[in-house]
Amino acid sequence: MGPRRPGTRSRTTLLVALLLAISLAVNGCANRREVQDINIITAMGIDRVTVDGKPKFLVTILSARPTPPGSAANTGGGMGTPSRGITFVISGEGDTVFDAGRNLNLRSSRQIFLSHVLVIVFGEQLAAEGVGEAVDFLFRHKDLRERAFVAVTRGLARDVLMSQPEIETTASMEMFEILQKNKTVISKTIDTNLFQLSYALLNPGIEAAVPNIKLFMPPETISPIRSSTSSETGQSSPGGQTGGKSEPQAQNQTFTFSGAAVFLGDRLVGRMDEEETEGMEIIRNQAKGGILTVAFDGPNKNTSYLYRDLKAEVKPVVGEDGSISFEVTVKGRGELQEEKNAVIQVEKEDIKRMEELVDQEAERICMKAVQRAQLLGADVLGFGDRLRRAEPKAWKGVKEDWTSIFPTVPVRVRADLRVEHIGIISEPFQVQ
């Protein structure tokens, strides 16, 4: 072994001292929260109600019910024992959203934990008065994720949280899965998260649109939801509230997403139906999949076209006189999925005719979305945002008046969709 180089011992001593100092300075998880001490929230509802003649915020949370250590999952009771379910709902009132949220702690024995919130629902009255204050609170809260989905309902958001899922174990998971996974299958609603909502609220040239969620009682008489009792979902607000009374059978209802709620600024100004919403999604390049139905050689719609990979290009056109218009071009491909009475033969002429009808249908629903947005005076299509990016000089001249200019802007839509497949049979199904 060779001689030790000078300074090696001092460097080693210094390194050991440095590691010791670092280990003493590190306190581990200083803000740790043990799972047995937290109330895990998976969905949140925010309403505007009147209590004793005064306006109040009503914050409702859907919580995962804790399971006692060593016990089986609480999915149902034994003989004669009522089921408590795996979630429960509680509400709190307050002068501000934060005040109402903190008042929830008066009913929760565990610290409220919002990092697992999947869906945030706004009630009709809150949306009509303005969601700005609620969104401000949601963004300031350190636990809430910007990727949580946002929806609007008619009536109280609290009722949505008290409704029952049909497939998943919790309403929050069912809402989340419907919005997240069905995007490539159907485009009759939208999926808007908290970040996307804030972008539309904070940036000129685009208005916000969020999914519309509605409650209904399942029409199937054998549905267990029709016979469910209030013991399966905890009751919400303490007494004393007026003007915000729940529907009497909220726990006997389930939910579906249909169309979109449209905002002007932070206020709800109207809704788009499912067809208008699909047209909006096509124009905004958000339609990942869906069905267009057309009438082929008959008065009634009898053929289904499944589209995929639609690409829409929105081109602002600025005239020499400063006039502004928009040209929307939609291209894509799809396949024939259904026809009645063997009206379409696998021939070039029939396929060409089918494509023409599909193009007309796509153009119709896109223009229907444009007309609805212009009627509401809300540029949810993002035409102003596109003008700002493509023609910044023209945008600068109309920016301040875009809300009044948008309803009269000419829009032209042209579709070019192709039939690439005809399903797994090559000949029409013709009954003899």
Backbone angles phi, psi at 324, to 5 degrees: -125, 135
Whether residues 207 and 292 fall in one domain: no
Handedness of CA 77, 83, 86, 90 (dihedral sign): negative
Cα-based distances in Å from 173 to 43, 162, 168, 180, 185:
9, 14, 6, 10, 19
Q: Does residue 287 lie in a domain region?
A: yes
Q: Does residue 248 lie in a domain region?
A: yes
Whether residues 258 and 317 fall in one domain: no
Q: Which residues contact 193 (CB under 8 A, 6 or more apart)?
A: 146, 147, 148, 149, 150
Whether residues 363 and 410 fall in one domain: yes
Q: Does residue 268 lie in a domain region?
A: yes
- The two structure tokens encoding residue 278: 């699909």
**pLDDT for position 242:** 43
Element holding 28 (H helix, E strand)? none
Whether residues 290 and 268 fall in one domain: no
Q: Does residue 145 lie in a domain region?
A: yes
What's the pLDDT tens digit per position in 241-300?
444 444 447 788 999 999 999 999 999 999 999 999 999 999 999 999 999 999 887 778
Q: Does residue 353 lie in a domain region?
A: yes
Which residues are 311's β-sheet partners? Answer: 331
Query: 205 in helix, strand or coil?
Result: coil
Q: Which residues contact 63 (CB under 8 A, 6 or more apart)?
A: 39, 40, 41, 42, 87, 88, 89, 90, 108
Q: Does residue 77 lie in a domain region?
A: no
**pLDDT for position 342:** 47
Whether residues 389 and 286 fall in one domain: yes
Residue at which a domain ends, from 272, 299, 325: 272
Q: Which of 277, 281, 278, 267 is nearest to 207 (CA)?
A: 267
Q: Does residue 21 lie in a domain region?
A: no
Note the residue count of the chain.
Answer: 432
- The two structure tokens encoding residue 218: 């399942």
Counted domains in the chain: 2
Q: Which residues contact 208 (CB under 8 A, 6 or more apart)?
A: 192, 197, 200, 201, 262, 263, 266, 380
The parts of the chain modelled with pLDDT lower than 50 are: 73-83, 229-248, 342-343, 424-425
Q: Could you give the CA distance from residue 393 to residue 399 in angstroms, rounded to a whole number?
A: 10
Whether residues 256 and 378 fall in one domain: no
Q: Does residue 201 lie in a domain region?
A: yes
Query: 349 in helix, strand or coil?
Result: helix
Q: Which residues contact 281 (CB under 8 A, 6 or more apart)?
A: 187, 190, 287
Residue at which a domain ends, from 217, 243, 272: 272
What's the pLDDT tens digit per position in 203-217?
999 999 999 999 999
391 CB burial (10 A radius; 0-12, 13-18, 19+): middle
**pLDDT for position 347:** 66
Whether residues 339 and 417 fall in one domain: yes
Instruction: Kindly give the residue spans of alpha helices, DSSP state H, lying in 42-169.
Output: 97-103, 124-129, 132-140, 157-162
Strand order in the sheet with 303-318: 289-294, 303-318, 324-339, 411-421
**pLDDT for position 3:** 56
Residue at which a domain ends, from 209, 242, 272: 272
**pLDDT for position 297:** 75
Whether residues 216 and 240 fall in one domain: yes
Amino acid at 364: R
- The two structure tokens encoding residue 120: 């945030």
Which residues are 103's β-sheet partners? Answer: none
Q: Which of 196, 237, 226 is nearest to 57 (CA)?
A: 237
DSSP state of 241: -
Whether residues 206 and 254 fall in one domain: yes
Whether residues 255 and 296 fall in one domain: no
Which residues are 378's β-sheet partners? Answer: none
Domain that holds residue 190: 35-66+82-272
Whether residues 103 and 160 fall in one domain: yes
Whether residues 308 and 377 fall in one domain: yes
410 CB burial (10 A radius; 0-12, 13-18, 19+): exposed
The CATH number of whichever domain residue 325 belongs to comes to 3.30.300.210
